[in-house]
Structure 1
Amino acid sequence: MKMIATTIVLLLSLIAAANGFSQEYSYTEASDLTLVGKLMPDTPNPYHRVDTVRFKGFTPGENAQVRMSSGIAVAFRTDSKSIVIQTDFAVRNIRPNTTAFATCGYDLYIRKDGKWLWAAAGAQDAQKGSVLRLIGAMDGSMHECLLYLPIYSEESSIRIGTEKGAVIEPIGNPFRHRIAVLGSSYTHGISISRAGMTYPAQLSRSTGLQMLSLGCSGNCKLQDYFAAVLAEADVDAIIVDGFSNPSPDQMRQRLFPFIERIREGHPETPIIFQSTIYRENRNFMTDKDSYEAEKMATADSLMAIALRKYDNIHYIRPDATDRNHETSQDGIHPGDHGYTLWAESIRKPLLRILRKYGIR
């Protein structure tokens, strides 16, 4: 038995070496580097998106979701040949329609020729103290990295491991401005395969503008307390995916008070509303088709009034469906390709609107 155990250890060591993973690492807390995509910079836990002690009114589910790190990334540079990650999870989630790489894993991009190129993704084992071996066998030159954090988990500590003797240090924020993106499960990133594939993250990489995601799956319904967060946030513009979750009655009751609450903190800041997308589960189910049609019509009619009633309000239409209607993951949420289509469909309209306000 002792010989078998020794052989297993030797084989594991050879596999690790073949993948470029050293056995000796120094660890750096991710929050000691540069956090990007974070709406509220002063939360007691650096990986929370909202300070739930300061901001009240959230339901228990919403309270948990705004403590999740969706949309937050870590920017740094390192010459380490390999990178590992060790996480202390307060809550570690996996959903049936979203991979572990997205819900509780990490997604690494490295800048090459001025663009962010995907490098690696993975999810840490649930066992406490386990280490995620993210990437190895790099060439040892200095690389600028962008590491996306889990979209549907809460972390109390994230430690990035680099080989002993290697450099790891923060870089400046690679994105410009601060643009809040409040929204539903679509903004949260449900059904993506890895954390960097949310449409706000894709928009940041394609435009160079910093999107600050506050997606709350199933729970973004034009509530006053979400508007209160936006009213106090330090942002240059606000994008709202606000018509995907609420019922038509909730839209009629809440839309104008929602706008007016944000205006208390941002009298002139552009607010760009998005219509909801076409959900593929309505293709053959008549009840869902009629309900979704009513939601879309209600949002359109209310926004026609809002555009006349308020200054600096805009309305755009995302599209996450290809001509074959093959982009849906579960009938409600798009997969990666659908979210790419979403980001691309609103990129030019967003840029045109933002330029009017000097946001480039």
Structure 2
Amino acid sequence: MKIRWFIFVAVLPWFIVPVEAQEKVADSIGNLDPEMATGRTVEDGVAWYDVAEQNIEGRILPDQERARWFDRFPASANGSVTSNVWNLSRHSAGMMVRFKTDATAIHTHYKLLNKNLAMPHMPATGVSGVDFYARDGEGNWRWVQVTRPTSQEVKTKVIDSLAPGMRQYAAYLPLYNGIESLKIGVSPDSKFEQLSRREKPILFYGTSITHGACASRPGMVHTAILGRRFDQPVVNLGFSGNGKMHAEVGEFLVQVDAAVYVIDCLPNMNAAMVTERCVPLVKQL
């Protein structure tokens, strides 16, 4: 008998049943022969790894066709969900790249979908930044650095002079902008391998609060914080101003084998909408 947990939250805090995390590290030919590493190019003394060839967390239904690799919804959502939801789904909110390296310096090179890098009420670091965390020797996540975009193409050294040693990293992608391409760079003689997890994700469907407004960095949206706390993959389907319990969105939720559904749409809804849509969405799931 298959059991699902449904958790519907009107206000903070969120009550989530954690699932024991088991991490699986993917094999990497590059560990044996760096020149054979997938997506690896060397330029100006930096080995670049194209994360479009890696396993990206927070990207649902990866086997379905996409208009852009980093879209949150597959291409079939265009014309099914509302135009507002579709346009907002082009943002990379909640997506995260996990990797392992012994590099003492980390670089990133990425191109953004939109030229608007910031908003009047939200800085470019949160709207368009890539936010890096690393595990310390005790397994706790520690903030490393965030990029500070000034143009649609960002190519920068994120951090230098790290203490030697192999570490796990997480790079959270922009909350209110989309990603066209993204590479992580390390020294050519450094080890680098992607990390992937097979656990069922915690799936959030909600409003601008879930989407990430107005976090100063992508790693500080509450979905990311809870993902680190429970050591679980997270899917962020927050749609700013448009989290309204749409059945059309539900059609994509039901295709995800989630550990938990967190439906937090009330800030975008009135009483009539709740009466009309809440129970049907529960039954749909």
The bucket for the TM-score relative to the shorter chain is 0.7 to 0.9
- In 2: Cα distance, 1:109 partner to 1:253 partner: 41
Q: Are the aligned partners of 1:55 and 1:229 in contact in 2 as well (CA < 8 Å)? A: no
Q: 114-123 or 30-39, which moves further after superposition?
A: 30-39
Classify the secondary structure of the residue corresponding to 1:63.
helix
Q: 1:30 aligned to 2:51?
A: yes
Q: 1:258 aligned to 2:281?
A: yes
Q: Are the aligned partners of 1:79 and 1:141 in contact in 2 as well (CA < 8 Å)? A: yes
Q: 1:156 aligned to 2:180?
A: yes
Q: 1:114 aligned to 2:139?
A: yes
- In 2: Cα distance, 1:222 partner to 1:229 partner: 12
User: How far did residue 192 of structure 1 move?
Assistant: 0.6
Letter in 1 for 2:149: Q
Q: Are the aligned partners of 1:33 and 1:76 in contact in 2 as well (CA < 8 Å)? A: no
Classify the secondary structure of the residue corresponding to 1:77.
strand
The equivalences for 1:195-274 within 5 A come to: 195-262=218-285
Classify the secondary structure of the residue corresponding to 1:193.
coil
- In 2: Cα distance, 1:55 partner to 1:42 partner: 16
Cα distance 1:256–1:205, how it changes in 2: closer, same or farther (>3 A)?
same
User: How far did residue 83 of structure 1 move?
Assistant: 1.3
| Structure 2 match to 1:41 | 62
User: How far did residue 92 of structure 1 move?
Assistant: 4.2
Letter in 2 for 1:131: K
- In 2: Cα distance, 1:85 partner to 1:68 partner: 19
- In 2: Cα distance, 1:52 partner to 1:95 partner: 27
1:190 to 213, 235, 256: 213
Q: Counting helix residues as a fraction of each chain, which structure ranks higher?
A: 1
Classify the secondary structure of the residue corresponding to 1:244.
helix
| TM-score normalised per structure 2 | 0.78
- In 2: Cα distance, 1:52 partner to 1:261 partner: 22
Classify the secondary structure of the residue corresponding to 2:253.
helix
Letter in 1 for 2:252: V
Classify the secondary structure of the residue corresponding to 1:105.
coil
Which structure 1 residue ranges, 4+ long, deviate > 3 Å from structure 2? none
Classify the secondary structure of the residue corresponding to 1:91.
coil
| TM-score normalised per structure 1 | 0.62
Deviations 1:234-256 (A, max 9, x none): 22321100211012221122222
User: How far did residue 211 of structure 1 move?
Assistant: 2.2
- In 1: Cα distance, 2:121 partner to 2:62 partner: 30
The equivalences for 1:311-350 within 5 A come to: none
Q: Are the aligned partners of 1:188 and 1:215 in contact in 2 as well (CA < 8 Å)? A: yes
Greater Cα radius of gyration, structure 1 or 2: 1
Q: 1:178 aligned to 2:201?
A: yes
Identity level (%): 25
- In 2: Cα distance, 1:72 partner to 1:39 partner: 10
Q: 1:96 aligned to 2:96?
A: no
- In 2: Cα distance, 1:29 partner to 1:176 partner: 24
Q: Are the aligned partners of 2:109 and 2:183 in contact in 1 as well (CA < 8 Å)? A: yes
2:75 to 52, 58, 66: 52
Q: Are the aligned partners of 2:78 and 2:86 in contact in 1 as well (CA < 8 Å)? A: no
RMSD: 2.0
- In 2: Cα distance, 1:154 partner to 1:70 partner: 8
Classify the secondary structure of the residue corresponding to 1:53.
helix
Classify the secondary structure of the residue corresponding to 2:272.
helix
Q: 1:82 aligned to 2:105?
A: yes
Classify the secondary structure of the residue corresponding to 2:183.
strand
Deviations 1:183-227 (A, max 9, x none): 101111101110001111111111122221111111001111111
- In 2: Cα distance, 1:200 partner to 1:187 partner: 7
Classify the secondary structure of the residue corresponding to 2:126.
helix
| Structure 2 match to 1:288 | none
Q: 1:137 aligned to 2:161?
A: yes
Q: 1:165 aligned to 2:189?
A: yes
Paired positions, count: 239
| Structure 1 match to 2:34 | none
Letter in 2 for 1:136: D
Deviations 1:139-190 (A, max 9, x none): 23212101100011111211111122222111233x8432211010111110
- In 2: Cα distance, 1:168 partner to 1:139 partner: 16
- In 2: Cα distance, 1:144 partner to 1:210 partner: 15
- In 1: Cα distance, 2:159 partner to 2:78 partner: 38
